[in-house]
C-alpha cells in the first residue's frame, strides 16, 4: 500500500490551466466515483481550490499505474487533453506525500502562507470523500494527523499572525499602483468573505467611497452598511465602473461576468481614463482579453504573488519553525504506518501459541482424570498466564522495532522462527479478518458515556462504512452505589469490571472509556488499542452564585467525588467544606441548583461534551489543580487477540496523546495510586519530547509533593516511572504508607465524571 499525492498548483500551473481542471465543491462526488471505478486506488480524496487540484490516495499496486489512472480521470472528467497539463503535475509518495499533505493543511504550501481558508477546504474535501465511502484507515489517519499538525503550526508559531489574505494582497497591490488610496473610489463586485475582507482593508486605507454590487441586493445592502458604503444592483455594476477608480471582483459565478466588449464600452464612457481591475475570483470573473483594451489594467490571483512573496520574507523565521514541526510529525506518522505491518504477525503468533496451549491442555486434562471445575479452571488459568508471560517480551520488542527501519526484518525472522504464514498487509485489507463486519460497543447508560460511545461510533462508521456499529448499554455495580465515597467502595473498577467481563466472553467487541477511569493493570487478554486526541484536560468550577474559588466565602460547601481535587483545593482554601458528590454530571448539577451545595468541581471535557459550557464559572489551570491521569482522553479497550477490531480502531489512535498517556499511567502504576489517594499527573508534547508533571498529596491538602521531568517520546513509560521514583524519594512515600501501609498496586485513579 502506497500513500500518493498527484496534483498541480499555483507553483506549477498558471491560473488559465487551473481553471480548466477546477472542480466545484458540489461536483466533487463524481470524480471521486470515477477514480474508484477506473484506478487501483483503495482510498482517495480530491482537493480543488483556486490554487490547487490534488488527489490524495492510498494505492494498492504500481505507483506509475495509479498516477496514469488519476491523470486519465482528470482529463476525462474535465475534458482537458493530458498533454495540456501532464508536464505541470507533481507526484509524491511515502514520506514526501505525507509531508506535502501536512504542508498544505498547515498553509505552508499556499500562495498566501498562513491563510486559514485552505484548512477548511481540505476538511470539506475530506468530509465529502468520507460521505462517498472513499476513505479508509490510511487516509482517515493521515487527515486526522494533518489537522492536528495544522493546529500545532497555528498555535506554536506566528505563521498566521498578520498573514496576508488574497483580499489584503489585492488591496496592497492597489496601494502600490496608486501610492495612496485616500480619495479613491472603489467598486466591489461580490459580497462574500473575500469581498468583506477587501472592504476592511480598504477602509483602513481611507478610500473616499465604496460601492458594493451583488446578485443578492439585500446582501449588498447589508455589507455596504457595515462599511459605510452604498449598495447597487448587480445589473448596474457596469455603469458604476464608469466612475470607479478601482474594481475588485470576487463573485462565485461559474463564468466571466465582464467581457472585452463590455470593457470597451465602459472605457469609452470614461473618456479613456485609466481603470484598475483586480480579479480575485476563481473561476475568474473578468475576461483576460479585457487587458487588451487601452488604459485598462487587469490583475488576477497570479499577479498577487509578488505581494505575497514580500509578506513571506517577513515571516521566514516562523515558516522555519513550522517546517520543523511538520518534519517531526511526518516521522511520527511514518512510524505508525510501519507499525501496522506487525499486527498480523502478533495475531498469528498468539493464535499459533494458543493452538499449542489448547492441545497440550486437553492432553493433560485427559491424563489427570476426574477434576473439579475449579481445578480445571485453575490449570487453564495457569497455562494462559504462562503463555502471556512468554509472549509479552517478544511482542513488546516487535512493536518497538516496527516503528523503525529494521522492523520488517524482525517481522520476517519471527515468522520464520515460528513457522507462520507470510504476513498479510493489514494496510491492504487482505485476509479473512481484514474488514470489520460487526463492531459492538459496550457502554454505561449515562448520558456522558453514551455521548462518548456515539462519538467513537460515528468515527468508526465513517472509516468502515460497511461495518454494523451498535451499542450494548450496561448497568454496572458502580451505578448501583451512589451514596458512598468512591474511595470506600473499591474505586473505579466497579464501573469497568462488568464491561470487561462482557468483552472477554465475546458479548461486545470494544469498550469506550474515559482514560482517567481505567485501572493501570488490565485483565489478561485485554489491551488499550487506541486513544483519541486529548480534549481540554482541566478541571472547572461551577458555582451557584457565579463566585470563583477565591471569592467563595469561608465554610462554603464544595462538592467533588475526587480526593485529588479535594486535596489540591484544600491546599489553597482550607476554610471550605468539602462534600462527597456522586452521580453523573447532570445529577451533580441538579444538586447544585437545588441548593445542596455552593459549588462543584468537575472535568471540563465532560461538561463540554454535554453542551454545558455556559455553566462553567472558572477554569483551573494545572498549576491550581493538576488533572487526573488520562483526563480529557477517550480510550478504546479490546481483546488483545482481536485483529479485526484492532485494525478498525487503529484509525482513532492519536499517537502523541497515546505516548503521553503511557507516561502518565506508568507514573501511576509505579506509585500504586488509586482513587484512595490524591495522585495527579499531566503530560504535554514539546517537539520530540514529553514534559510530565505529577504530584502526590495528603488527604487534607497540607502536604503536596510535586515534580516535573522531561524526556524523549520514544520511552514514555520510563519517563513516568522516573517521575514517580523522584516523588517517592522526596516525600511521597510517607504519604502512601500512611494511607495504605505500603504503596498499593496500580488501580483506578479518578471517579467517573
DSSP reduced 3-state for 444? strand
**Residue 720's closest CA among 690, 745, 742?**
690
The yes-or-no answer on residue 50 being catalytic is: yes
**Residue 115's closest CA among 154, 58, 67?**
154
Strands 468-474, 438-444: pairing is parallel
d(CA 625, CA 34): 54
d(CA 168, CA 194): 9
Answer for the pair 752, 602: CB distance below 8 angstroms, yes or no.
no
DSSP reduced 3-state for 233? strand
**Residue 274's closest CA among 247, 301, 250?**
247
Answer for the pair 671, 569: CB distance below 8 angstroms, yes or no.
no
**721 alpha carbon, distance to own chain's centre:** 28
Contacts of 197 (CB under 8 A, 6+ apart): 165, 167, 168
d(CA 266, CA 358): 90
d(CA 743, CA 751): 19
Measured CA distances, 738 to 313, 645, 697 (Å): 61, 43, 12
Dig out the grid coordinates for 87 from the structure: 508536464
Cell 481611507 identifies what position? 206
Give 416-432 as a DSSP string. Answer: HHTTPPPPP-TTTT-ST
**121 alpha carbon, distance to own chain's centre:** 16
Count Cβ neighbours within 10 Å for each residue of 158-181 and write b for 16 or more, e otherwise: ebbeebbbbbbbbbbbbbeeeeeb
Tell which phi-psi region holds residue 272, choosing left (phi > 0), alpha (psi between -120 and 50) or beta. left
Total count of residues recorded for the chain: 753
4: which DSSP letter? E
Count Cβ neighbours within 10 Å for each residue of 489-509 and write b for 16 or more, e otherwise: bbbbbbbbbbbbebbeeeebb
Measured CA distances, 565 to 139, 580, 628, 700 (Å): 40, 11, 9, 11
Cα dihedral value 744, 748, 749, 751, nearest 10: -140
Contacts of 221 (CB under 8 A, 6+ apart): 231
Dig out the grid coordinates for 42 from the structure: 483503495
Torsions phi, psi of 283, nearest 5? -60, 160
Selected catalytic residue, list 50, 73, 290, 675: 50
Dig out the grid coordinates for 74 from the structure: 482528470
DSSP reduced 3-state for 697? strand
The number of CA neighbours under 13 Å toward the Cβ of 373 is 0
d(CA 432, CA 350): 17
Element (DSSP H or E) covering residue 19: helix 15-21
Measured CA distances, 417 to 55, 405, 409, 640 (Å): 41, 20, 12, 22
Burial (CB count within 10 angstroms: exposed 0-12, middle 13-18, buried 19+), residue 275:
buried
Answer for the pair 24, 128: CB distance below 8 angstroms, yes or no.
no
Contacts of 85 (CB under 8 A, 6+ apart): 8, 13, 17, 20, 21, 71, 74, 75
Alpha helices (H) along 369-440:
373-402, 407-417
Dig out the grid coordinates for 416 from the structure: 520464520
Q: Which residues are catalytic?
A: 50
Amino acid at each position: 500500500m502506497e500513500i500518493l499525492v498527484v496534483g498541480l498548483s499555483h507553483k506549477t500551473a498558471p491560473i488559465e490551466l487551473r481553471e480548466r481542471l477546477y472542480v466545484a465543491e458540489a461536483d466533487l462526488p463524481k470524480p471521486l466515483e470515477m477514480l474508484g471505478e477506473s484506478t487501483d486506488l483503495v482510498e482517495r480524496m480530491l482537493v480543488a481550490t483556486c490554487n490547487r487540484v490534488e488527489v490524495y490516495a492510498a494505492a494498492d499496486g504500481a505507483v506509475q499505474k495509479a498516477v496514469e489512472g488519476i491523470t486519465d480521470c482528470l482529463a476525462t472528467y474535465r475534458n482537458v487533453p493530458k498533454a495540456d497539463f501532464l508536464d505541470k503535475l507533481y507526484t509524491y509518495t511515502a514520506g514526501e506525500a505525507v509531508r506535502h499533505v501536512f504542508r498544505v493543511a498547515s498553509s505552508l504550501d499556499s500562495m498566501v502562507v498562513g491563510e486559514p481558508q485552505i484548512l477548511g477546504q481540505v476538511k470539506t474535501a475530506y468530509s465529502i470523500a468520507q460521505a462517498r465511502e472513499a476513505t479508509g484507515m490510511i487516509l482517515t489517519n493521515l487527515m486526522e494527523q494533518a489537522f492536528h499538525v495544522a493546529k500545532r503550526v497555528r498555535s506554536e508559531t506566528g505563521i498566521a499572525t498578520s498573514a496576508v489574505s488574497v483580499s489584503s494582497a489585492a488591496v496592497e497591490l492597489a496601494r502600490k499602483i496608486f501610492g495612496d488610496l485616500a480619495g479613491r473610489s472603489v467598486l466591489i463586485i461580490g459580497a462574500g468573505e473575500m469581498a468583506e475582507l477587501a472592504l476592511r482593508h480598504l477602509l483602513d486605507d481611507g478610500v473616499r467611497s465604496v460601492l458594493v454590487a451583488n446578485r443578492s441586493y439585500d446582501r449588498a445592502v447589508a455589507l455596504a452598511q457595515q462599511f459605510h458604503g452604498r449598495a447597487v444592483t448587480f445589473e448596474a455594476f457596469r455603469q458604476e465602473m464608469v466612475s470607479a477608480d478601482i474594481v475588485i471582483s470576487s463573485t462565485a459565478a461559474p463564468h466571466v461576468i465582464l467581457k472585452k466588449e463590455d470593457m470597451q464600452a465602459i472605457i469609452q464612457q470614461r473618456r479613456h481614463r485609466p481603470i484598475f481591475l483586480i480579479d480575485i475570483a476563481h473561476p475568474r470573473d473578468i475576461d483576460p482579453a479585457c487587458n487588451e483594451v487601452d488604459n485598462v489594467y487587469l490583475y488576477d490571483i497570479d499577479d498577487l504573488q509578488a505581494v505575497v512573496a514580500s509578506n513571506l520574507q517577513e515571516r521566514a523565521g516562523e515558516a522555519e519553525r513550522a517546517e520543523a514541526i511538520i518534519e517531526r510529525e511526518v516521522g511520527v506518522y511514518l512510524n505508525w504506518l510501519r507499525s501496522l505491518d506487525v499486527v498480523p504477525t502478533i495475531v498469528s503468533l498468539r493464535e499459533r501459541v494458543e493452538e499449542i496451549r489448547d492441545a497440550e491442555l486437553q492432553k493433560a486434562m485427559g491424563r489427570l482424570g476426574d477434576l473439579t471445575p475449579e481445578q480445571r479452571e485453575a490449570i487453564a488459568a495457569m497455562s494462559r498466564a504462562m503463555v502471556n508471560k512468554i509472549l509479552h517480551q517478544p511482542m513488546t520488542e516487535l512493536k518497538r522495532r516496527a516503528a523503525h527501519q529494521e522492523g520488517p526484518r524482525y517481522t520476517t525472522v519471527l515468522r520464520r522462527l515460528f513457522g507462520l504464514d507470510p504476513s498479510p498487509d493489514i494496510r491492504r485489507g487482505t485476509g479473512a479478518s481484514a474488514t470489520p463486519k460487526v463492531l459492538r460497543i459496550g457502554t454505561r447508560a449515562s448520558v456522558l458515556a453514551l455521548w462518548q460511545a456515539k462519538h467513537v461510533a460515528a468515527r468508526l462508521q465513517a472509516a468502515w462504512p460497511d461495518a454494523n456499529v451498535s451499542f450494548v448499554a450496561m448497568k454496572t455495580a458502580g451505578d448501583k452505589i451512589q451514596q458512598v465515597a468512591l474511595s470506600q467502595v473499591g474505586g473505579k473498577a466497579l464501573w469497568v469490571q462488568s464491561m470487561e467481563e462482557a468483552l472477554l466472553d465475546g458479548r461486545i467487541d470494544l469498550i469506550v472509556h474515559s482514560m482517567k477511569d481505567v485501572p493501570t493493570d488490565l485483565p489478561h487478554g485485554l489491551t488499550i488499542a487506541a486513544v483519541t486526541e486529548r480534549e481540554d484536560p482541566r478541571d472547572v468550577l461551577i458555582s451557584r452564585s457565579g463566585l470563583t474559588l477565591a471569592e467563595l466565602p469561608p465554610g462554603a460547601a464544595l462538592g467533588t467525588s475526587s480526593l485529588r481535587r479535594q486535596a489540591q483545593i484544600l491546599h489553597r482554601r482550607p476554610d471550605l467544606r468539602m462534600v462527597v458528590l456522586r452521580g453523573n454530571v447532570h445529577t451533580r448539577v441538579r444538586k447544585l441548583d437545588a441548593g445542596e451545595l455552593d459549588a462543584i468541581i468537575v472535568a471540563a471535557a465532560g461538561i463540554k461534551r454535554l453542551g454545558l459550557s455556559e455553566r462553567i464559572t472558572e477554569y483551573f489551570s494545572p498549576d491550581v489543580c493538576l488533572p487526573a491521569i488520562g483526563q480529557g482522553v477517550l480510550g478504546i479497550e479490546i481483546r488483545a487477540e482481536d485483529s479485526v477490531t484492532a485494525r478498525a480502531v487503529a484509525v482513532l489512535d492519536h499517537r502523541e496523546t497515546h505516548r503521553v498517556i503511557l507516561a502518565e499511567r506508568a507514573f501511576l502504576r509505579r506509585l500504586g495510586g488509586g482513587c484512595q489517594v490524591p495522585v495527579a499527573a499531566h503530560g504535554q508534547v514539546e517537539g520530540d519530547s514529553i514534559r510530565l508533571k505529577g504530584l502526590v498529596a495528603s488527604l487534607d491538602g497540607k502536604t503536596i509533593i510535586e515534580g516535573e521531568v522531561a524526556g524523549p517520546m520514544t520511552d514514555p513509560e520510563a519517563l513516568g516511572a522516573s517521575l514517580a521514583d523522584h516523588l517517592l524519594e522526596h516525600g511521597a512515600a510517607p504519604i502512601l504508607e500512611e494511607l495504605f501501609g505500603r504503596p498499593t498496586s496500580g488501580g483506578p485513579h479518578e471517579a467517573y465524571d
